[in-house]
C-alpha cells in the first residue's frame, strides 16, 4: 500500500464545504463584514461584543466573496 492510499481517508474526512465568519455592525447595521476586518467599513466602529457574528457557508467563490465583503 502506498503512502498516498494511507493519506486518502484523511482527505475524505475533511468536509469540502467551507465556512467563513461575518459580522454585523451594531452601530450602523451593516452586515456581512468579513471577520478579518476589525472595524466597520461604513462607520469605522470596531467590532465589539454586541456585533452579531454569523457563520456563512461558502463554495469555491470564497475568496471572491471575501474580497467583495472587504470592499
Nearest CA-CA partner of 63 in 39, 36, 42, 23? 36
What 3-state class would DSSP assign to 67? helix
Decide whether 11 or 50 has the Cβ nearer to Zn ion.
Answer: 50
Q: Which is nearer to Zn ion, 20 or 25 (CB)?
A: 25
9-16 contacts, C-beta under 8 A, 24 or more apart? none
List residues binding Zn ion (CB under 5 A): 25-28, 30, 40, 42-43, 45, 48, 50-51
The CB-of-38 to Zn ion minimum distance in angstroms stands at: 11
Tell me the closest approach of the beta carbon of residue 30 to Zn ion, in angstroms: 5
Amino acid at each position: 500500500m502506498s503512502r498516498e492510499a494511507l493519506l486518502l481517508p484523511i482527505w475524505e474526512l475533511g468536509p469540502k464545504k467551507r465556512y467563513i465568519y461575518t459580522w454585523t455592525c451594531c452601530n450602523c447595521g451593516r452586515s456581512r463584514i468579513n471577520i478579518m476586518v476589525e472595524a466597520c467599513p461604513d462607520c469605522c466602529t470596531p467590532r465589539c461584543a454586541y456585533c452579531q457574528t454569523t457563520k456563512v457557508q461558502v463554495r469555491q467563490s470564497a475568496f471572491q466573496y471575501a474580497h467583495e465583503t472587504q470592499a
